[in-house]
Structure 1
Amino acid sequence: MVGIEKNMNSGIAHITVNDKGQNKIIIIRGANATCSDIEIDKITSKLNSGADALLLQMELPLEISLKAAKYAQSINKLVVMDPAPAGIMPVGVYQYFDYLIPNETEAETLVGHPVETNDQIKNAAKTLLDRGVKKGVIIKLGEKGAYYINDRISGFIEAKKVKAIDTVAAGDAFNAGFTSYLLKGNSFVDSVTMGVTIGSLAVTKPGAQESMPTLEEVDYFLNTKK
């Protein structure tokens, strides 16, 4: 689904990668910032035609994402929010997300305190869950893996050891792996583990879309990294 906005540039992400594979990204929202109820109609049409989940991020105006989330929730579709690029979100909006999946930097922006030590990570995740997220919070920790929490369980999942070439889109790979695995009926913890695994695999290739692994690559990776 691609829309065209006259007299407006497309959104751009300027990405730099250091010699350790770590990245910094500058976002220029461009036409993304002009999304309106017209795009909401297109999203709801997709949800009505069989989509099982709505995966959101913060490159669109928050009010547009919230309208889409509320509609998806009203027809019992899974709503996953990756709050990137990070910004302050009113406490009242968290209730419209089934899962919230920030990284450490984004979590720090949301809670207003450092998210570095294990205790800080745990406290940040609990704070975000207590703001109303319905099913669970996951904080992506890069090479350290991820921390997960819901109203019953919590814990850390370690990342598989790989040589990082480019960490761009590792979080996107995590989101896709987690969400797709969850939709297949797997448990919360197993789905987080799959997200970590696919994110680990993605950093072994340069690029964003180019680094997204196929199912065959995931299976091979799992079989060779046991």
Structure 2
Amino acid sequence: MRHVFVAGSINMDVVATAERHPKVGETVAGEAVLYFPGGKGANQAVASAKLGIPTTLIGRLGMDAFGKELRAFLAAQGVDLTSVKTTNGTHSGTAIITIANADNTIVVVPGANGLVDARDVKAPSLMKGDVAVSQFEIPLPAITAFFRRARAVGATTILNPAPAKQADKALLELVDILVLNETELGYLTGTELRDSDDPSRFAQAARTLGQGKIVCVTLGKRGVLALVENQPLLVPGREVKAIDTTGAGDCFVGALASQLAIGKPLGDALAYANAAASICVQRMGAAPSMPTADEVAAVLSTRRPGQGRDP
């Protein structure tokens, strides 16, 4: 079994629930305020670790109460924190989230996450067969340095380009597997896409990003469309009653990384990640909602994943 290494953000999610989202300039009455460990890096690391895979998180926390709480929570989930630094003079990353009708809006204040640099990603010992994961909530030069190290030793690199922003060609060329949703795909390709579009539109857009890499487009309850050697593979989703979708994409990425680390074929890994994400959305919170391996196995035992081609 190989390791999963995640270089990314660590946040405290401050969640307000309401009956509906406010319009611009409007105030609505909320129902509750909740605090959950989160951040895309932390979420993905917890998703992998709870599935039984040795997982190391690389990142930074501030010297504040949130930082102490986050470190304690992540350690309790089995995440290796030897590469998580506590940084003087700044606060831990914080996300302000509103949830209404299972949909969310998010404002992220990076704090210590914005100080992650190339030196932070040098210490962990990556090996051939390991999986290196990152997202766009830490500075891009740090991600580039991380993936360059991973590629040099033969580790697989997975990039989740969220929140969407433009990245230079040098970074994208270091990516083996790109995992993104339809909004991020539209942003990176300059294409107007909607979640209700036919899968063929996503495949067409994804082909412009291919260039030797695997592109996985997550489509929520519709499943995931993967472009492998320019050929589409559609793995159906699983319809459930969603309560909170905040960590679903991160759950998918972490679960995918975990399965690739133990040598599962891509199609099987995608089906497994879909099942894991379907459990995640039925719970409140991001990192705390990540399922265990037993929970995912129970879901998969009741349903045989199907596959389709040529969407």
TM-score for the superposition, normalised by structure 1: 0.90
* Structure 2 residues without counterparts, runs of 5 or longer: 1-82, 305-311
Number of equivalent positions: 219
Match of 1:31 among 112, 129, 133: 112
Structure scoring higher RCO (CA < 8 A, sep ≥ 6) equals: 2
CA displacement 1:162-216 (0-9 Å, x = unmatched): 1111111111111122121122222222211111111111111111111100011
Q: Contact 1:136 / 1:149 at 8 angstroms: preserved in 2?
A: yes
CA displacement 1:118-171 (0-9 Å, x = unmatched): 2331122111113xxx44110111122111001153122221121111111111
Q: Which has the higher helix share?
A: 1
Match of 1:68 among 129, 146, 149: 146
- 2:161 corresponds in structure 1 to 83
Distance 1:96 1:115 in 2: 26
1:51 Cα shift?
8.0
Overall identity of the aligned pairs, in %: 30
Structural RMSD (CA): 1.8
SS in 2 for 1:161: coil
Distance 1:151 1:70 in 2: 22
Match of 2:98 among 12, 16, 19: 16
1:40 Cα shift?
2.1
- 1:103 corresponds in structure 2 to 181
Q: Which has the larger radius of gyration?
A: 2
TM-score for the superposition, normalised by structure 2: 0.66
Q: Contact 2:129 / 2:261 at 8 angstroms: preserved in 1?
A: no
Q: Read off the aligned partner of 2:191 and give its amino acid letter.
A: H
Residue 2 in structure 1 maps to residue 97 in structure 2: no
Where in structure 2 are the equivalents of 1:37-56 lying within 5 Å?
37-42=118-123, 45-47=124-126, 52-56=130-134
**Cα gap change, 1:88 to 1:187, in 2 (>3 Å):** same
Distance 1:189 1:28 in 2: 36
Match of 2:205 among 120, 124, 138: 124
* Structure 1 residues without counterparts, runs of 5 or longer: none
Q: Structure 1: which 4+ aligned runs deviate by more than 4 Å?
A: none
Where in structure 2 are the equivalents of 1:165-184 lying within 5 Å?
165-184=243-262
Q: Read off the aligned partner of 1:54 and give its amino acid letter.
A: A
SS in 1 for 2:159: strand
Q: Which has the higher strand share?
A: 2
Q: Read off the aligned partner of 1:47 and give its amino acid letter.
A: L
Q: Read off the aligned partner of 1:179 and give its amino acid letter.
A: A
Q: Contact 1:79 / 1:96 at 8 angstroms: preserved in 2?
A: yes
SS in 1 for 2:122: helix
